[in-house]
Structure formats: structure tokens, C-alpha cells
Amino acid sequence: MLPPLKHLLLMLLPVTILAAPSEDEIRMLPGLAEEPSFKQYSGYLAATGSRRLHYWFVESVNNPKKDPVAVWLNGGPGCSSLFGLLGENGPFKVMDDGATLEPNPFSWNNVANVLYIESPAGVGFSYATDSNYVTNDDRTATENYAAMKDFFNKFPEYRVNELFITGESYGGIYVPMLSVLLMGDPSFNLKGYAVGNGVSSDEMLGSSIMYFAYYHGLVGTTEWTNLVKQCCGGSENSCKFVSAAQQSNACETEVRKVREIIDGGSFDAYNLYAPCAFGVGSHLEAHNGLVDWAFRSLPQHSKSRGYGSKRIRAERGCTNNTRVSVYLNSPEVRHALNIPESVHTWQECSAFGEGWYTNIYNNTTPFYQKLFNGGIRGILYNGDVDMVCNFLGDEWFAESLGRPVREERKMWYYSDEKGLKQVAGFVKTFDLLTSLTVRGSGHMVPMDRPRPALLIIQNLVQNTPF
């Protein structure tokens, strides 16, 4: 049988063997006790216009020539993918001293070559030569697409490798949008995608978090009864809290009471059962603009995301990731990563003034339908104690896509450090789509549950059922 036309086009593309850019290679990374067995690169990819996106590429520990390329995008918008590398699924994790790196046995480069891109421009070490950082969903997708083209110009030997796009949180916007653009370009060998605790539908995430709060004991029966009365006509089976809050002041008042419990600083919204790193109520208030996706259309969220007239910190509330910032802002580390001295300091999450990022899409269904039509398979996975992008809303979203069911919801498993079989969560399989939960994990699944997280990406790239 003749190979598909897309594969023929990929084979006909001019390829320079082993053309990886030597000037971007990381020769010696501070903090490592010994040099890794794989090569890694750090530098810049040309996006659109004046924008340059920083990347860090780690080759597979197995067979980089044949293993797939997986792209990782953290969300925000405004949060750096280098936290994903150094705090979640990369080959190293920064220790508490902010100087020492510890190998991560559950790194995703056990099964793939992994490309971390700091996007959009202004995030992390990425920059714009004209210092104009105003952007939106569409422009970010276009810039990520341009950066991907430049990556394969730098690393043409990887063009024929299978390609997967992954990310978390606002990556629920980035990943499907970028995947659609790549799918339409025959020079990319796109095979699939994965989104962890992703933004999917404002209405579904916003309504489901009310149920989540009640059934996790954050809201009492009296408060729940008032909420249902004002927002749902007294019937909790027909609640659409987001749209109801937009139409009724009484409903909005009750919704705000619940949101104040979730976002008020007493809990880690990213993991309900995790303690606050600096104590209750001590974290930055700026995080609120990075959390409350679903209710952004209410009056206090009616403006595009932004916090002032200059680049400021917008760290995630209740978490302590200082060690990563200390490490990446070390002059020795910046030099090793080929970061110009003129580039700003690294921050986990950043913002650039009122209206710097405009959220265009409050439902990502059209992008997923295009991916299904193109035969691209994907995984939507959720830590089940996250309150930012909760599992219930994303499960509702997966169901709403209308894909034929291949296997009904069941438990899935992983092997623990003793080799014992353990429940990882629950999974439901549709045609071209897998929806699953990760038991006991918060927003950052690779950080909270690294073993099941590695199995997720392994099953994705190997097209293995759960």
C-alpha cells in the first residue's frame, strides 16, 4: 500500500542530518552532580514580527532519532513553561536551596524528545524587541505556530518524528489552537495532543465548581440552598451558574460568596488538600486574575487580564516556587541557557499592564471538532482535587463533544514504587478522545502524581489504551 500523501511530503522535505544548532547547546548546566546522558539546547525561536520565544529542548534518553517530539506549554496566560520543566515533568527538579538540581526519574523525556516553549512573548525569558507585549488567543496561536516552524528549521532532523502537543491550564486554549494550525500544514507530522486540567468551557467549568465546592464540604447546606434558589429556580439539576449570574444580581451575590471561599486565600485553589506554603491569607492577591476563568465575564472580570503599567509578578497563590526563580535568575544559569544580559529577569508568571492579554474564546469545542475531523487523537486529563480547572467541568466538556463511546468509564492503574498495582483514577474512552482523572492530584498532575503522569504521556505517544 502506498504511504499517505502527508508522509510522502515529509520524506521529500530537504533534511540536513544532525543539524542541531551548536550555539544553542547547553554545555554545562549548573547544579548537576554529573552531566546527563542526553543532549539539551536552549535559545530563541523567531515568532512573528519582533517577538522571540525562548525554548529549552531536551532529547530523549532512549532513541532521540526515532522517539517522538512532545511540546509542553504551561498556561496562565503569562506562566512560564520552564516551571513545567524544572517543577513538573522535566529531567531535573530544583531543590530547596535554589542551586542544586536533582534528576527526575519520571521525566517525560523517558519516552519523547521534549520541547518547552515560553509563550507568549514576555513570559519567562521570551521577549519582544519593541517591548510591545499586547496579545490575545489568536495571536498567541500564530506565534506558537511560527516558533514551531523555526524550531524545525533549527532541528530539521526531527521533522519526520511524530509530533505531540501538550500543556496544562490555559494550555487548554493554547494546545488545541496550535494543534489545528499544525494539522493544516503537511510539513508537521502531528499525531496527537494532551491537555491537563485545561480551560475548556467557561460555562461548564464555572457551573461545575459550584457543585465541586458543595460536595467537597466547602459550602454548607444553607448556602447551597440559597445558591440553587437564586440561580437555578430551586432545581439543582438545571443549574448554569455562569449565565445565571450574568442575568441575576441575586444569583451573582450567591455565586460570589462561594468564589470568595475558593479564591479567598484560605485554600490552595490548585490543590484543595495542599497546605498554603506561607500560611493562610499570606499569598499575593494578583493571583486572582490568573484563576477565575469561568467568571471572567462578570463585572469585576469584564476587562482583559492585566495588573498595571509594567511587568509585575503574578505568582500562583498559596504555592512556593521561589527555588525555581532563584535558580533561573542565577547569572551562571542564564549564561548556560544562552540568555542575553538584556533580557528581563525570569518570573514564573507575569503580566504587562491593563489589557495585555485578551481572552477571545470561552468554549474550545470548534477546535476539537476540527482535530477530530482531521483524525488527530487526544487525551484530556484532570487531577481530581484541582479547583482552578476542575475535573467535573472538563468531564462535562468531553461528553459534550459527542464522540462515539469506545469504552465506558472504568478505573485505570499504575505501578507504585514497590511494583504494586494502584488505582490512578478513572478513564472513559471515546473515538479519538480519552477523558481521565488522576486520583489525589491537583492542578499540576506531573508534580503531584509523577508516576501516573508519565504513564499518561507514554500511552499517548505509543497509542496504548488505559
pLDDT tens digit sequence for 409-420 = 999 999 999 999
Does domain 202-301 correspond to CATH entry 3.40.50.1820? yes
Cβ atoms of residues 388 and 445 within 8 Å:
no
Distance separating alpha carbons of residues 197 and 270, to the nearest angstrom? 10
Tell me which of 244 and 53 has the higher pLDDT.
Answer: 53
Percent of the chain with pLDDT over 70: 85
Among 60-69, 237-246, 259-268, name the one with the lowest average pLDDT: 259-268
303 or 319, which is more confident: 319
**Predicted local confidence at residue 286, as pLDDT:** 38
Quick one: average pLDDT of 23-45? 97
Task: Respond yes or no: is residue 435 known to be catalytic.
Answer: no
301 pLDDT above the threshold of 50: no
CA distance linking residue 259 with residue 245, whole number of Å: 12
Q: How far is the C-alpha of 135 from the C-alpha of 458, rounded, in Å? A: 33
pLDDT at 5 over 80: no
Say which residue, 71 or 307, is predicted with more confidence.
71
pLDDT (0 to 100) of residue 113: 99
Active site residue 137: no
- What's the angle, vertex CA 347, arms to CA 342 and CA 351, rounded to 5? 95
* Mean pLDDT score of the chain: 88
pLDDT of 208 higher than 90: yes
- Residue for cell digits 488567543? 137
394 tagged catalytic: no
Of 8-17, 60-69, 93-102, 221-230, give the lowest mean pLDDT range: 8-17
Q: Which of 40-44, 145-149, 320-324, 326-330 has the lowest mean pLDDT?
A: 320-324
82-90 mean pLDDT:
98
Q: How far apart are CA 60 and CA 40, in angstroms?
A: 9
At residue 195, does pLDDT exceed 90?
A: yes
Distance CA 420, CA 289 (A): 41
Choice among 204-218, 302-316, 356-370 with the minimum mean pLDDT: 302-316
Cα(226)–Cα(210) distance, integer angstroms: 12
The span from the CA of 393 to the CA of 425, in Å, is: 16
The three cell numbers locating residue 160: 519526520
Bigger pLDDT: 267 vs 190: 190
C-alpha cell at 18: 544532525
- State the pLDDT confidence band at 303, using cuts at 50, 70 and 90: very low
Per annotation, catalytic residue among 80, 119, 126, 169: 169
* Cβ count near 178 (within 10 Å): 28
Asked whether 351 and 78 are in contact (CB, 8 A), the reply is yes
Q: If pLDDT is split at 50, 70 and 90, which confidence band does 285 have?
A: very low
3-state class of 286 per DSSP?
helix
From the candidates 386, 394, 435, 448, which is the catalytic residue?
A: 386
Percent of the chain exceeding pLDDT 90 equals 74
Q: Which CATH architecture has domain 5-201+361-462?
A: 3-Layer(aba) Sandwich (3.40)
Beta strands 433-438 and 357-358: pairing type?
unpaired
- Give the pLDDT score at 254: 87
Residues contacting 232, CB < 8 A, separation 6+: 238, 239, 240, 241, 244
Beta bridge partners of residue 428, listed in sequence order: 435
> What are the residue ranges spanned by the domains of the chain?
5-201+361-462, 202-301
